[in-house]
Amino acid sequence: MLALGLLALLVLMAVCCFVPGFVLVRKLRWTPGEKICGSIAASLVILYLAVFLIYLLWAPMWMYWVLSAAIALCGIFVWRDLWNLMRPAGVRRLLAGFGFLFLWAFSLLLFVRTYSGGGWGGDWIEHFHRSLFFLHHLPLETTFVDLYALPARPPMMNLLAAFFLAQAGDRFENFCVVFLVLNLLLYFPCALMLSAFARRGSRAMPILVGLLACSPMVMQNATYTWTKSLCSFYVVLAIWFYLAGLRKNDSVRIVAAFVSLAAGMLVHFAAGPYLVFITGHLLVTSFRKRWRAVLIAGTCATLLLGTWLAWSIENYGLRATFGSNTSVTTSQQLGGSNARKILLNVRDTIVPHPLRELKVYRDQRQAGYVRDYFFLMYQTNLIVAMGIAGGVVVAFLFFRVVVRGREVFWLIFVPFAIAVGIAVVGERDPAGSAHLTLQPLVLLGLTFLAARFFTLRPLVRWIVVCGCIADLALGVFLQHDLEHYENDACSDDFQVSVRRSGLGLSVFTDTDIAPAATSNWQLKRYGFAAKTLAPAFSSLPLSPQAHAEVMHRLEVQARVLRDDDLRWWGGWWKRHGDRLTFLGDHIGCHVWFLYVFDLVLLAALLSVIRRQPAEVSTQPQSDRRSRRRSKRRRR
């Protein structure tokens, strides 16, 4: 039943994440790739607006089904245009690449039973709680992970999840699949950007698929249920539309770029630095020439952002709306040391931690230490996030192509995005801050490497391939293998014990990897105290009076948790047995077939890459067109 439910959920997502936007963009003079990306981006915006309206009106749950039925009817209405869009071979290759990435990432998701890695924890359940907030109309005073108010995070991706959970069921397994699909959408604008970096760059699409599949940052952000990857989808798509709009003098594309950036802000505030740069660049370079497009783009972006800001200000006030996110709260705590914090974060984001001093948690098994050692590079360092070897090659290509070619836009854009993207980070992170705001740059770097891959010398290509193998082993497979930790018939990876201490009795949960795994494992069990600790206390040699007192305290705590569940979670934990169930929990401890499946997928991808022609021009599309214009003028 679970498999059939997930299949129905995927069909629902395929229809609802494409058809509404396709109705709007199908008649535009865009390329097929632009129509696909534009349809997805517009569909998600339409769904966000519709679901937010359903939430505001307190409409019954069946309204979600009515909305899906209306979208299906629209699909029937435009089926001929949809068929014509899917006919070109390039479109089919584009969709096949996404299909590969989904199967690959879904197999990795089946490993996950407890999140771990570095100090990551809490975000995954926070976004699930936020989605339930909109689905079940939880109280406005609800706090998430006992820390954040609702305005601390923008709501778009949580509203989208609420839409699908309302029809597929609010199980955590469904939530993971919804976020997995939304997080993988970043592939589509990256495929578009291939032709911006090299002539016939679309031929390098299998290379791009391989680089994304081997990227620890991309795969971890796809299987971890948070919102940064969908934000990167909108940012990269906005950059493509903006550059294409300038090149073709097309106001529609420029407006689409700003709407995409506004949607990215509604997904995650990390889109802010890119919105600031694109706005400044347009005002400085072509405001007089395109002032109408500037006004229309600004109006559309403001109205879209205003849908959330107006409601948040009305219900939470200005201070909570603009001052509750971590960039503001953490910076206020640092006081006058913000400048030093920014400089240190810039250093740590660019320089990998093996070249400087960073304490990696050592009190764990060797595999856990190795995982965390590389995790704190792949996820937080800008260069290594593009691959152990790939990041160095991207830096070399950037100097050779962009710096020597004096491509002004990229020469300004990249340093600005790095500096401002790190400056807006509130906390001081000694490991680096690339995972917070610089993911779009990482994606652009991987796309740049894919587009220029066939222009590299054979030795350099082999270095990149060997680096991808290392990334796959140390950053993808090792990471998800350790996220398979759980207590089952095969092993007890988490040991719960009650020990005497100076304050009486204390509860300890031990595992042989970093403490973040223990925290995330406990978050899976809402009734942790009542159901898990009671047997442990019962095994202690206590007097009858002491035993009765301990059990009474556990019962009181269980009642408090039950009341909190009914008030702040809408009774979700009670309906689901006081436990979050991951997809990996259904697989169990035997996952050898997942490795076999992944190796088969890799073999299939390699066979496609070997058949690819190696003739890819080093000139991007914009350079080719400028040369053609200059030849015409000479004639």
Question: Rounded to whole angstroms, how far apart are CA atoms 167 and 165?
Answer: 5
Look at residues 80, 47, 121 and name the one whose alpha carbon lies nearest to residue 523.
Answer: 121
**What is the chain's percent helix, strand, coil content, to nearest 5?**
75, 5, 25
| Phi then psi dihedrals of residue 31, to 5 deg | -70, 160
Are 413 and 462 part of one and the same domain? yes
Q: Is 430 in the same domain as 558?
A: no
d(CA 603, CA 595): 12
Looking at residue 325, its pLDDT comes to: 77
Domain count, the chain: 2
Q: So what's the pLDDT on residue 617?
A: 46
pTM exceeds 0.85: yes
Tokens of 219: 């795969």
CB burial of residue 206 (10 Å; 0-12, 13-18, 19+): buried
The DSSP 8-state label assigned to residue 104 in this structure reads: H
Please report how the helices 89-109 and 205-214 are oriented relative to each other, as an axis angle in degrees rounded to 10.
10
> Is residue 115 situated within a structural domain?
yes
**Within a domain: 488:** no
Residue 605, C-beta contacts closer than 8 angstroms, at least 6 positions apart: 100, 206, 209, 210, 213
Q: Same domain for 224 and 179?
A: yes
Token pair 């339409």 in the structure block, residue: 46
Indicate whether 150 and 181 sit together in one domain: yes
Is 503 in the same domain as 400? no
Gap between the Cα atoms of 100 and 313, Å rounded:
43
- One domain for residues 17 and 116: yes
Examine the domain organization and report whether 108 and 216 are in the same domain: yes
Query: Please, is 438 exposed, middle or buried when counting C-beta atoms within 10 Å of its C-beta (0-12, 13-18, 19+)?
Result: buried
- Is 208 contained in some domain? yes
pLDDT at 404: 83
- The answer as to whether 213 is a domain residue is yes
Mean pLDDT, 10 residues at a time, the chain of 635 residues: 94 97 95 96 98 96 97 95 93 96 97 93 94 96 91 96 97 97 98 91 92 97 96 98 94 96 96 96 88 93 96 93 74 66 91 89 90 95 96 94 88 95 87 93 97 93 96 96 90 78 67 91 76 64 71 78 92 91 91 94 92 58 53 53
Residue 154 domain flag: yes
* Phi and psi, residue 496, nearest 5°: -100, 125
Query: Does residue 469 lie in a domain region?
Result: yes
Measuring CA to CA, how many Å separate 294 from each of 281, 304, 352, 380? 11, 15, 40, 35
Is the domain of 470 the same as that of 569? Answer: no
Q: In a 3-state reduction of DSSP, which class is residue 510?
A: strand
**Quick one: 577 and 603 in the same domain?**
no
Please count the other Cβ atoms lying within 10 Å of the Cβ belonging to residue 376: 25
In a domain, 358, yes or no: yes
338 Cβ neighbours under 8 A, 6+ residues apart: 331
Whether the Cβ atoms of residue 530 and residue 537 lie closer than 8 Å to each other? no
In a domain, 618, yes or no: yes
579 Cα distance to chain centroid: 24
The tokens describing 562, both together, are: 């039950």
Do 229 and 123 share a domain, yes or no?
A: yes
- Domain identity same for 501 and 540: yes
Domain that holds residue 424: 2-482+597-624
- Of 91, 409, 383, nearest to 246 by C-alpha is 409
pLDDT of the residue at 542 = 66
Residues near 73 by Cβ (< 8 Å), separated by ≥ 6?
A: none
Structure tokens belonging to residue 611:
């058949």
437 and 536 within one domain: no
* Residues whose CB is less than 8 angstroms from the CB of residue 196 and which lie 6 or more positions away in sequence, other chains included: 240, 243, 451, 620, 621, 622
